[in-house]
Amino acid sequence: MPHHYEQVRSSTTAIRRWREDEEVPSRGKLYLLCLTICIGGLQVVWATVMAQGSSYLISLDLRPSIVSLVWLAGPICGSLLQPYIAYKSDYCTHKWGRRRPFMIYGTIATIACINALSWTSEAVRSICNLLGVSDHGFGAKFVIQVLAVVGVWLLNVAIQPVQASIRALIVDACPGSQAAKANSFASIAVIIGSAIGYGCAFIEMPKGPTWLTNPQFKGLCFIASISLGVTVTITSVMIEEKAVNIDNDGSEKSGLRKIWVEIYRAIRTLPPTIKMIMAVQFCAWLAWFPFLFNIVLFLSRLYEVQTLSEKMGPPSTKFYNGLRQQSIRHATLAMLVFSMVALVTNLCLPYLVVDADSSSTSELEWQKEERPTGAKSGIFVVLRKKLVNRLTLPRVWMISHIIMAFALFGVTFGGDGFMTSVLFVSLLGFSWTLTQWAPFAMIAAEIASSSIPDLKSLETDTEDQSDSPESVADLRPRAGITMAIHNIAIATPQMLSAIVGALIYWAIIWLPSLYESSLCRNFQSTTTPQTSEISIPTWILLACMLWRGDSRPTCPDSECPIFRSSLQSMARFEDVVLKLRRWAFPSEENNGSDEKLLASTTSSSVASIDEDDSSSSEKETRSQTHHRIFFISSILAIIILGAVTLTTLLVDSHSGVVPNTPPPPSQGGSQVVAHCGISAQEAMERGCLWDIMSFGWIHPLCFDKEESDRWAAKYGPFDWYVDDGQAVDEKEQPVNGTLTQPLGLDEIPFAPSVWTTQGYHIMHCLYLLKMVHVAALNSDPVSNEAVNLGHTDHCVGLIGNTDLIEYDAITTPVRLLFVQCVTLQ
């Protein structure tokens, strides 16, 4: 069968064939929108992973140190797998084009992997039920954890062909003069994708049936799948990509070693400008990686600490269940503000930046297109005149790194205030815009200019040129591998950051004082970090991306009616796609026909030409007016939305905690195996039962009903009351006789707080102490309240206080609990 990847011994043939079709027409805004919209869909996937990925893995009882190592999957795959895929796509001769096969197949794999990751728990538990094995035991949980780690790696493998092909396609489909404009569109798409991902993460997803776990993450993965599928479909249908014919001289580079030798040669022959850009990216992403993957978790801890400190006294609860989802949703809402700042920056900044290589009176080519000759005034024109020849793209990029350093220092050492950290994080939106725009625009411009001998840089590394037969100017045919090398510069520091993060978590394990300090308390979880290592899955071959066969049947058309009808259907589909492209991009499709029409109408009158010019000028002015209205409306809408978001954060950060979820002084237990939610309704849906002696909803895994009933019968009945209308927190010393409203046993499970006698209080303490003893003897899970050292100290002080021996005195407020079953390991 024919081979889709044919390499040549030297790149001269490929370059010569490329330059035959090197004329890339100027692209309109609608074309650039369809070209770059797919990278926005991919960013929705990344935003979902960054917003909920760490929380999802921790909810599976993975330790933070292991979670930090799990995220090594992204940079490792980006460093090793993406260059290989980019090399294959550069020499791909598939009939769909060089980039589109990888983009389509990668999208299908990404959608499958991200949904499989979100449904890991349900799949394992279903198999356990079919096999008659306990789905809550250690074995089931271990399998879930392993499959979740494997799922993260598979997801990162599937993303690589999509990411590599999208970036390379942007370079291939646009001329060099539009490199900055195309990458500006891509940057806007990335920021909008982030806003969609973080905005959806703030919205509470439907709960679903009781057996469904993590419905929030499942809903976000489904939204991300739809976004990626729709956007990649738009790009694949609307953007035409011609197949490239590369002659094979009998020297294929099919082995991994030979391919990596070729990649190494490409690295050595890069122009100095691109090498400097990659050096800057290496240093910058040492900071960006831990920020992107940990900021939501960091802000959620700040929200928990601040809320508990303001409402419930000094914080010692780590990951209190009633606040977890609320804190994560508010953290993602803060990241929505971050995305809005980035979007406003991306809409405004391109009008102020000038070309670094241009004179003081020149502009970038794409900036000239935005403002016709009639645009002589305006705030951006005035600002550009003031900043002319100063605010170049490299300089703005440098300023963004200074702002980034300042903002990160502010987030780290600016105190424990939630809103203070949100403001510093929002400031990072400016730097994030430049990170997504400047390096890609400069590299794309360098690739475009290097393919033209006259524009070749005079600063070429002659030593590198002498070592390689390839010239540094021959970059456009290898745009894919060049962008993949840039991705190596981004991914390598991410691996270093992930390893450093894991070492920090392990340091927390061995330094208890550091573990309890204010700088580290924001990174703690219910799972106490312990020293452990994990075997990370190594390489997973991307066989579906390296499809080589030809699916055409061997029988003739006359003997294959199914094949003949399929060809006819494909032909009709291609006609529809062609008509759609011509309707959407009339200027691009009619470039050649316009020249023929001009040649055939040389005898037209001058008056008719003048009339056409006048009509064109009017349309241009009208289009410019509409563009200004749209631009100003977009800025105002984003500012208003940002103000509303900040107002919501300010109000909610000073509001009370989740109803019916007051935290205990401290929370013990190393592993949570079952919980009862945050409301009576959710507790019943999860199968929890009411325990009068624990005074809370408790899961059957850690509930001995017979023992509870025996204590209630032996030491009861107990009396229950509501207060006289005043808040419980305001009654420091309730007077006996004022609490005259008794409660029945059927009302207690649904009351957020009640008052009871001192006798019940003491029996409650003794009952929980016995439950800890029984659990330790039988190695069974137990109520988290029972292993709470703060609660035990409280009970010891209560029982040992001889002044509180009046068992009939109504002195004890009791608040409703929703118990977690934890282990004693």
246-299 pLDDT per residue, tens:
554 444 455 667 777 777 887 888 888 888 888 888 888 888 888 887 787 788
Phi and psi at 673, nearest 5°, equal -105, -15
Average pLDDT, the chain: 67
Which tens digits make up the pLDDT trace of 683-724? 777 778 888 888 888 888 788 888 888 888 888 788 777 654
- Give the confidence band of 763 by pLDDT, cuts at 50, 70, 90: confident
Give residue 112's pLDDT. 93
Q: Does 266 or 612 have the greater pLDDT score?
A: 266
The C-alpha torsion from 367 through 373 and 378 to 382, rounded to 10°, is 70
712: closest CA among 726, 683, 691, 740?
A: 691
Best-predicted range by mean pLDDT (103-117, 160-174, 196-210, 387-401): 103-117
All domains in the chain, ordered by first residue:
32-240+252-353+392-545 (1.20.1250), 672-822 (no CATH)
And the tokens for 623?
């289009």
Specify the length of the chain in residues: 825
Query: Is pLDDT above 60 for 515?
Result: no
Q: How distant, in Å, are the alpha carbons of 342, 366, 782, 795 from that of 721?
A: 55, 74, 28, 22
Encoded amino acid at 84, one letter: Y
Which residue is listed with tokens 């499958």? 112
Q: How distant, in Å, are the alpha carbons of 11, 521, 663, 690 from that of 320?
A: 60, 13, 7, 20
Query: Is pLDDT above 60 for 794?
Result: yes
Q: What is 352-366 written as a DSSP string?
A: T-B-TTS-TT---HH
Encoded amino acid at 528, one letter: T
Using the 8-state DSSP alphabet, how is residue 350 labeled? G
Q: How far is CA 110 from the centre of its chain?
A: 14
135 contacts 225 by C-beta, under 8 angstroms: no
777 CB-near residues (< 8 Å, 6+ apart): none
And the tokens for 213?
């776990």
Rounded CA-CA distance 573/690 in Å is 62
DSSP reduced 3-state for 608: helix
Encoded amino acid at 418, one letter: F
- Cβ atoms < 10 Å from Cβ of 538: 7
pTM of the model: 0.55
Q: How distant, in Å, are the alpha carbons of 590, 708, 743, 761, 814 from that of 690?
A: 74, 10, 16, 17, 15
The C-alpha torsion from 497 through 499 and 505 to 507, rounded to 10°, is -110
527: closest CA among 514, 511, 515?
A: 515
Which tens digits make up the pLDDT trace of 158-171? 998 898 888 888 87
